[in-house]
A and B are shown apart, each in its own frame.
Chain A
Amino acid sequence: MTTILLIEQVLNGLQFGVMLFLMAAGLTLIFGVMGLINLAHGSLYMVGAFAAAAVAGATGSFILALIASLVAAAAAGAIVELVVIRRLYDRDHLDQVLATFALILIFSEGTRWLFGSFPLFLDIPPALSGPVTLPGGIEYPLYRLVIIGVGLFIALGLFQLIARTRIGIRIRAGESDREMIAALGVDISKLYTLVFALGAGLAGLAGALVGAIQSVQVGMGEPVLILAFVVIVIGGIGSIRGALVGALLVGLTDTLGGVLLPGVFATFMEPSAATAVGSSLASMSIYILMAAVLLFKPTGLYGSA
């Protein structure tokens, strides 16, 4: 493998990582900060992608589609919070699991009901399509560079919001003791609805951005959900910085594992067996990574005990 290809693959890994972060950002917010296990996060991601596809189909505008994804998912999130989630904060985590699992069923089949069983079309706008040439002669899709930019911007914004603003502090306070923060005069319910809507909106935006280069279809949120959980657990729950680092680690491991492992095994096995073993191991690589991280740091890289 040439150096330039290796560099390109590292870039791909980083890029995939940022994409994962985009998906995980909303989840960290809801899960880490509000302490709510929201399995339906993937569904909100799907809602965003479908809203974007529908609006792009009707208007032809990608910007409008992105706005639609944000609004639709945030609205769905707010409704879900008001109707369901709000009754679950002081319940066991397991009740949250069951309720949000039920929401997945409703969202997925509801979307299929509305949009049919076939994947929808959502493509990147012409202005962002095609490759650009990076220094070093690497050709790289422009749209992916844009995703990296958006991901980093969101990371920074969220970090500021949670760590620095008074709202962020109050949200975190509410996570450890809702009754106490209310006794201090903070309307934590309203705050949580807002946070949930924000997290949902981010998921929806991610769905639209990523959906444009992947397939927009029912069930698209599920694999993402698992990956996003892996990411935030590796990074440490509640830590935006952790989510970013975790996402990059997972992105790199997944990409480089798939690329390098078959080659590594080929050095001492016959090629077809090496491909088979290498690829199976590559499929497991992020889970091996997560297990390894948790064994050495039982609360993730940036998590507090």
Chain B
Amino acid sequence: MTRGFLINLVLFAMLPVTALTALMLDEPFIITLTTKVAILALAGVGLNIALGLGGLVSLGHAAFFGIGGYAMGILAHHAQTFTPILENPLLIEGTKSMPVIWLVAVLTGALAALAIGALSLRTSGVYFIMITLAFGQMLYYFAISWPAYGGEDGLSIYVRNGFPGLNTLDPIQFFAITFVVLALVLGGAGRFAASPFGLALSAARQNPERVETVGLSPYRLRLLAFVISGAVTALAGALFADLNRFVSPTMLSWHMSGEIMIFVILGGVGRLFGPVAGAALFILLEHILGGLSDFWHVYLGLLLLLVVLFARGGMIGALAGRQVAHD
């Protein structure tokens, strides 16, 4: 417990320390990069709720990530072109306010997860992986060929959305926002895992039959977990779109789903801080190796391979040793 706790603390502190150091050295891009780590980690935390706790290997989480992104893109697009989203039956206008956008992203993400989850959870194992992929791909192709919001070209937002009392265009302030969101969600996810619901959900992953015989429905447990997971990932999507001031169908592609999953596995499946470690390592590698050679993917591949082969339970697992189930 203590050792794992220490590692988590260091990992977590690393983000603001990096960002502040970059601020002092006047390297705004490093702050942006750190922000990206925080946001992708958030997406990973979302996936980890379904994947780590619930054992629901979703290869369609890009759908929620992208939905969050498009929630931001569409709202901001209408606000910046001064056109309403809907006039009939009631008038809905765009907005450039982050909190409102987040709320919309979380709600649409949750709704989409409810719909996709309700259908997908009839299957399990590899079939579940593939059916979630299928729903993700449907959305992806839809977004590509749907002209209203730019199709494959995506949507550009010229100015980052606003947060009351802050200047979001200042990299460090935007970082602060994402970091606080990440911290809150991590705190929530930690409590969640240790809660009665977390105990039952995790049991449903290990042995659904057992959960049924104590009078709990694995389907309902999983569906709720999937919805929460989708909502958190959608929130991350909205932040990611805001970071780039741009959203496009690539946010919905299966590569994105795969990448979020890689963060989780790399850090350690089911570990609260796993996605933070995974996203940080991945972005760091990408950034360092990218400058070395045109063929840097080879090195990235080799490094990832070494991690899987020799770091059981992801990075956190390797560092902290076997964790006794949370008691």
Contact = CB atoms under 8 A, between A and B. Distances in A.
Contact of B301 (A37, A106, A276): A106
Interface in B24-77: 51, 57
A97 B297 contact: no
A256 interface: no
Contacts of A94: 51, 57, 261, 265, 269
A300 B304 contact: no
B262 A287 contact: no
B163 to A, nearest CB: 36
- Could you tell me the dominant secondary structure of chain B's interface residues? helix
Contacts of A237: 126-127
A287 B135 CA distance: 7
B142 A102 contact: no
Interface stretch (A15-23, A108-116, A177-185): A108-116
B301 A233 contact: no
A24 interface: no
Contacts of B312: 91
B123 A98 contact: no
Contacts of B57: 93-94
B322 to A, nearest CB: 14
B188 to A, nearest CB: 24
Contacts of B127: 233, 237, 294, 298-300, 303
Interface string A16-44: 00000000000000010000010000000
A189 to B, nearest CB: 17
Contacts of B303: 102
B316 to A, nearest CB: 14
B282 to A, nearest CB: 11
Contacts of A88: 308
Contacts of A102: 300-305, 308
Given A109-B301, A113-B295, A284-B142, A101 B130 contact: no
B5 interface: no
A284 B141 contact: yes
A232 B44 CA distance: 28
Contacts of A31: 126
Interface string A269-305: 0000000100110011001101100110011100100
B137 interface: yes
Contacts of A300: 127
B101 to A, nearest CB: 27
A104 B303 CA distance: 13
A31, A88, A95, A303, most chain B CB atoms within 10 A: A95
B138 A109 contact: no
Given A279-B145, A283-B141, A298 B302 contact: no
A275 B122 CA distance: 34
Interface of A: 31, 37, 84, 87-88, 91-95, 97-99, 101-106, 108-110, 112-113, 226, 229-230, 233, 237, 276, 279-280, 283-284, 287-288, 290-291, 294-295, 298-300, 303
